Amino acid sequence: MKIYNVQIKTMEKRRSIENGWIEIENGKIIAVEEGSPDVVGTEDLDGQGKLLIPGFIDAHTHLGMSCFRSFASDLPLDKWLEQIFKVEDKLNDELIYQFALIACAEALERGSACVNDMYLDITGTAEACLSSGIRAYVSRNVVDTDGPEGLKRRLKELERMHELYDGKEGRLHVLASAHAEYTCSENAVREVASRAKSWGSPFYIHASETVSEVKGCLERHGVSPIKWLAGLGLPERTIAAHCVVVSREDMQIMLEHNIIPVHNPVSNLKLASGIAPVKAMLETGIKPTLGTDGNGSNNNLDMFREIFTASILQKGFTMDAQALDAYSAVKMATVNGADALGYKGGMLKEGYAADVLVLYPSLFLQPVHDVYGIIAYSAESCDVRYNIVNGRILVKEGECLSVDKERCAARLRELAGQLF
């Protein structure tokens, strides 16, 4: 498939093509060129002057938590979690599948090509991701709150899910994740990290999300969560969700141990967790990514909103208009996300994953003086015309083609009655 007559922002060192085309074959981009292709076919897409960018990467989310949208609103994280944990005990594979499936449709329509999910069980989420066509990294977050036998059982579940799902259709992968310092022993983290090492994948965990978490870790271990993690035999890459409360010393440790933070600005604001020091991270040499944290704490999966919030939040927080410029914010949601997960994506480049967003520069996005400024500060999910993942059109004219939303919504309403 070719997409032609388009403006292309490749995200490869700001490379821009004012009028060009790309070609996709077997889920990969095989050409990115200026001008027009010599031959076009009926299956090729005339972009009619639209804008092509890489699909977004939601580097931290909980798809199965869509059942908690608007539940326990206006509570801080610790009180919110108390309410969530009471209901989560009722969840099963079918419930998680249905909630994750509608979340996949939402993510796709809102511009995401890839999600990095962490939740109680992989099966429902993995099946939903396979069904929807989205690119996904999924993980069963291991906790260590009920003794050695509980940990042993969860590790076996993680290994079984890795064997069953990792590499499926070339777009589904299973990561090894632990929930957080306050729900895991040192042994649990070492065990999960060792599996990440053997699989050649990143280790995934929540870290330094709130002041109370950091205070608790200091009381339990005498060091910050970041310093605690760094001493537990981490693999080459660790993805750490949140990293709101981190010191300059923490950031230096993160750089040295390749602990990559996922900034979740909307969720962190909604839960009153704080503002991650993204400008300082960038100055340290860290390459942060962006995520939504899921519908439970965010209330939507809109990466445009995350890009916008991340950028303006740093400007206001630091009183520096250059703290996080538009290009860098978009890069967090594309290039940095792919680098953290370890796959060739996040750029429109030969040999890279064919994850492509086609945006329509509507009247309300005119005039276009700076395309990155339009993406970061003006564009919304309603501007998504096509979302192509792994070379397959999953969203056309703003509508998800791979999920029957009406049927799914009806089933969700039925299932929600079992939980609340």
- The DSSP bridge partners found for residue 359 are 51, 384
Query: Does residue 414 form part of some domain?
Result: no
pLDDT at 366: 76
261 touches 288 (CB < 8 A): yes
At 365, the pLDDT band (50, 70, 90 cuts) reads confident
At 147, the pLDDT band (50, 70, 90 cuts) reads confident
350 touches 29 (CB < 8 A): yes
Q: Does residue 302 share a domain with residue 253?
A: yes
Q: Does residue 152 share a domain with residue 107?
A: yes
pLDDT at 121: 80
Query: Does residue 85 form part of some domain?
Result: yes
**What percent of the chain lies above the pLDDT cut of 70?**
99
Query: Does residue 406 form part of some domain?
Result: no
Domain CATH number, residue 11: 2.30.40.10
297 touches 72 (CB < 8 A): no
Distance CA 16, CA 10 (A): 6
Res 102 pLDDT > 90: yes
Res 362 pLDDT > 80: no
Q: Does residue 381 share a domain with residue 257?
A: no
pTM of the model: 0.96
Q: Does residue 249 share a domain with residue 116?
A: yes
Tokens of 403: 């999920």
Give residue-wise pLDDT tens across range 106-142: 999 999 999 999 998 889 999 999 999 999 999 999 9
Q: Does residue 296 share a domain with residue 377?
A: no
Q: Does residue 235 share a domain with residue 153?
A: yes
pLDDT at 122: 86
Distance CA 418, CA 350 (A): 48
Average pLDDT, the chain: 95
Which amino acid appears at position 239 of this protein?
I
Give the relative orientation of helices 148-165 and 186-199 as an angle to the nearest 10 degrees. 20
Query: Does residue 298 form part of some domain?
Result: yes
Bridge pairing between strands 392-396 and 399-400:
antiparallel
Radius of gyration, alpha carbons of the chain: 21
| Full residue range of the structural domain in which residue 7 is found | 2-55+349-400
Res 367 pLDDT > 70: yes
Domain CATH number, residue 172: 3.20.20.140
Query: Does residue 185 form part of some domain?
Result: yes
Res 214 pLDDT > 80: yes
Q: Does residue 382 share a domain with residue 276?
A: no
Give residue-wise pLDDT tens across range 44-84: 999 988 999 999 999 999 999 988 888 889 988 889 888 98
Sequence-ordered alpha helix ranges (H) in 138-224: 148-165, 186-199, 211-221
261 touches 254 (CB < 8 A): yes
At 149, the pLDDT band (50, 70, 90 cuts) reads very high
Distances (CA, A) of 27 to 105, 131, 134, 155: 20, 17, 12, 32
Closest listed residue to residue 114, CA positions, set 339, 325, 269, 267:
339
Q: Does residue 41 share a domain with residue 68?
A: no
Tokens of 13: 């060192």
Residues 262-291 have a mean pLDDT of 97
Distance CA 360, CA 410 (A): 31
pLDDT at 368: 81
Residues contacting residue 34 through CB under 8 Å, at least 6 positions apart: 17, 18, 19, 20
pLDDT at 363: 60
Q: Does residue 386 share a domain with residue 321?
A: no
Q: Does residue 132 share a domain with residue 255?
A: yes
pLDDT at 161: 95
At 183, the pLDDT band (50, 70, 90 cuts) reads very high
Counting the structural domains of the chain, the total is 2
Torsion angle of C-alpha atoms 101, 105, 112, 354, degrees rounded to 10: 90
Using a 10 angstrom Cβ sphere, with 0-12 exposed, 13-18 middle and 19 or more buried, the burial of residue 369 is exposed
Q: Does residue 127 share a domain with residue 37?
A: no
Q: Does residue 130 share a domain with residue 117?
A: yes
Maximum CA extent, the chain: 67
Query: Does residue 395 form part of some domain?
Result: yes
Query: How many residues make up the chain in this entry?
Result: 420
Query: Does residue 407 form part of some domain?
Result: no
Distances (CA, A) of 163 to 104, 158, 206, 356: 23, 9, 24, 29
